[in-house]
Amino acid sequence: MFVLIVGAGRVGSTIARLALAAGHEVSVLDEDPLSHERLDEGQTTSWEDAGGRFTVGHAIEIEALEEAGINEADVFIASTNGDNTNLVIAQIAQRKFEVDRVIVRVMDPARASWYSHQGLHTICPTSAAIAEFKTALEIA
């Protein structure tokens, strides 16, 4: 599979490394050139030598998305630090580039829930944290 990950923060870069290690083709897009360091972290070879791709560019720019390979992507992951950016680029990936699987991180549980009802595959770390706290506190 060809996985395009937009936003190489802690989550995006870790998923990128895991997907590459699992044998997938992985391309990462981030507007900050320094985010590349997170991809190399703890690895013996550089991200590119390991077979990964990295593009510097803004998530909403069509040229950046195309350079990062959105036209060939089977999976699109929106994991920038902005909920609205993620929700917009996920819909662009879905409607304009017709990517098969689009997964989007949304920190706000309310928007995550509404957009998941609209047919987007949303992942909400806030809801996950709340669930863990509930378990830790042993409240139902």
Can you give the binding site for other proteins, defined by CB under 8 A? 60-62, 82-85, 87-88, 91-92, 95-96, 108, 110-111, 114, 118
Structure tokens at 28: 């990462």
Are 3 and 77 contacting, i.e. CB atoms less than 8 angstroms apart? yes
Q: Which is nearer to other proteins, 8 or 59 (CB)?
A: 59
Q: Where are the alpha helices (DSSP H) in the chain?
A: 10-21, 36-40, 62-67, 83-95, 109-117, 125-137
Question: Tokens 């949304």 — which residue?
Answer: 106
Q: Report, in Å, the least distance between residue 83 CB and other proteins.
A: 7
Nearest-5° Cα angle at 77, 102 to 31: 135
Q: Report, in Å, the least distance between residue 135 CB and other proteins.
A: 26
Q: Which is nearer to other proteins, 26 or 68 (CB)?
A: 68
Q: Which is nearer to other proteins, 24 or 121 (CB)?
A: 121
Q: Which is nearer to other proteins, 25 or 83 (CB)?
A: 83
Q: Report, in Å, the least distance between residue 98 CB and other proteins.
A: 12
List the beta bridge partners of residue 131. Answer: none
End-to-end CA distance of the chain: 39
Q: Report, in Å, the least distance between residue 70 CB and other proteins.
A: 14
